[in-house]
A and B are shown apart, each in its own frame.
Chain A
Amino acid sequence: MPPIKRTKFKLTSEQLLEMFYWLKLIRAFDERLSILVKQGKVRSGVYTGIGQEAIIVGTCFGLRREDFICPLHRDLGALLMKGVDARTMMSQMFAKTTGLSKGRDSALHSGVNELGIFGNTSMLGANLPVAAGLGYTFKMEKSDNVVIAYFGEGASNVGDFHEALNFAGVQQLPIVFICENNQYAYSVPLEKTMAIDDVAIRAEGYGFDGVAINGNDVLAVYQATQGALARARGGDGPTLIECKTYRWHGHSEHDKAFYRTDEELAMWKSRDPIPTFTTYLRARHVLDDQKLKEIESKVEATIEDAVEFASSAPDPSPEDAVSDLYA
Chain B
Amino acid sequence: MSKELSYLEAIREALAEEMRRDPKVFVLGEDVGPYGGAFGVTQGLHEEFGDLRVVDTPISESAIVGISIGASQRGYRPVAEMQFADFISCGFDQIVNQAATLRFRYGGRATVPIVVRAPSGGNVGGGLYHSQNPEAWFIHRPGLKVVAPSTAFDAKGLLKAAIRDDNPVVYFEHKYLYRRAKGPVPEGDEVVPIGVAATRREGSDVTLVAYGAMMTPSLEAADRLAKEGVEVEVIDLRTLLPFDKDAIFRSLDKTNRLLIVQEDVKTLGIGAEISAVVMEEKFDRLDAPVMRVAYPDTHPPFSHILEGANLPNADTIAAALRKLAAY
Residues of A within 8 A of B (CB): 43-45, 95, 101, 103-107, 109, 121-125, 154-155, 157-159, 185-188, 192-194, 258-259, 315-318, 320-322, 325
Mark the stretch among B9-17, B28-36, B171-179, B220-228 that contacts chain A: B28-36
Roughly how many angstroms separate A185 CA and B60 CA in the complex, as a whole number? 12
Chain A residues with CB below 8 A from B128, complex form: 104-105, 109, 121-122
Most buried by B among A105, A259, A321: A321
A154 CB to nearest B CB, Å: 5
Contact A186 to B129, CB < 8 A, known contacts A103-B302, A122-B86, A315-B305: no
B254 CB-CB contact with A under 8 Å: no
Q: Is A158 a contact partner of B301 (Cβ separation < 8 A)?
A: no
A residues within 8 A CB of B297?
322, 325
> How many B residues, CB 8 Å from partner?
38
| Cross-chain contact B59 with A109 (CB below 8 angstroms) | no
Q: How far is the CA of A103 from the CA of B127 in the complex (A)?
A: 10
Q: List 8 A-B contacts (CB under 8 A).
A: A158-B59, A159-B62, A193-B57, A194-B58, A258-B35, A315-B305, A320-B301, A321-B306
Residue from B89, B299, B305 in contact with A103 in the complex, judged by beta carbons closer than 8 Å:
B305
Q: Which residues of B contact A159 (CB under 8 A)?
A: 60, 62-63, 90
Q: Report B-chain residues with C-beta under 8 Å of the C-beta of A124.
A: 59
Contact: A318 with B306, CB < 8 Å?
yes
> Which residue, of B30, B33, B61, B310, has the highest number of chain A Cβ atoms within 10 A?
B30
**Is B245 interfacial (CB 8 A cutoff)?**
no
Chain B residues closer than 8 Å to A321, beta-carbon distance: 296, 298, 301, 306-307, 309-310
CB distance from A180 to the nearest CB of B (A): 14
The interface residues of chain B lying within 8 Å CB-to-CB of A155 are: 59
Whether B127 contacts A106 by the Cβ 8 Å rule is yes
Q: Distance (Å) between the CB of B180 and the closest chain A CB?
A: 18
Task: Report whether A320 and B127 are in contact in the complex, using a CB–CB cutoff of 8 Å.
Answer: no
Q: Which 9 A/B pairs are nearest by Cβ-Cβ distance? A: A122-B129, A318-B309, A157-B58, A187-B35, A193-B58, A321-B306, A103-B303, A95-B303, A104-B301
B59 touches A316 (CB 8 A): no
In the complex, the answer to whether B301 meets A103 with C-beta atoms within 8 Å is yes
In the bound complex, residues from chain A placing their C-beta under 8 Å from that of B58 are 154, 157, 185, 188, 193-194
Nearest CB of chain B from residue A259's CB, rounded to whole Å:
6
B61: nearest residue on chain A (CB-CB)? A158
Known: A107-B127, A109-B129, A188-B33. 8 other contacts (CB 8 A): A103-B303, A106-B302, A109-B127, A109-B128, A121-B129, A123-B129, A322-B297, A325-B298
Total CB contacts across the A-B interface at under 8 A: 119
On whether the beta carbons of B35 and A259 are closer than 8 Å, the reply is yes
Contacts of B87 in A (CB 8 A): 122-123
| Residues in chain B near residue A316, CB distance under 8 A | 301, 303, 305-306
- B86-104 contact mask (Cβ, 8 Å, vs A): 1 or 0: 1101100000000000000
CB distance from A150 to the nearest CB of B (A): 15
Question: Cα distance A105–B130 when bound, in Å?
Answer: 11
In the complex, what's the smallest C-beta–C-beta distance from B60 to chain A, in angstroms? 5
For B31, list chain A residues within 8 Å (CB): 186-188
Among A44, A105, A320, residue most surrounded by chain B Cβ atoms (within 10 Å):
A105
B231 at the interface (CB under 8 A from A): no
| Residue of B with least CB distance to A104 | B301
A158 contacts which of B38, B60, B126, B304 (Cβ < 8 Å)? Answer: B60
B23 within 8 A of A: no
Asked if B302 contacts A104 (CB within 8 A), the reply is yes
- Can you name the residue of chain A whose Cβ is closest to the Cβ of B86? A122
A125 and B89 alpha carbons, distance in the complex (Å): 13
A325 and B297 CA atoms in complex are apart in Å by 9
Interchain CB contact under 8 A, A318 and B305: yes
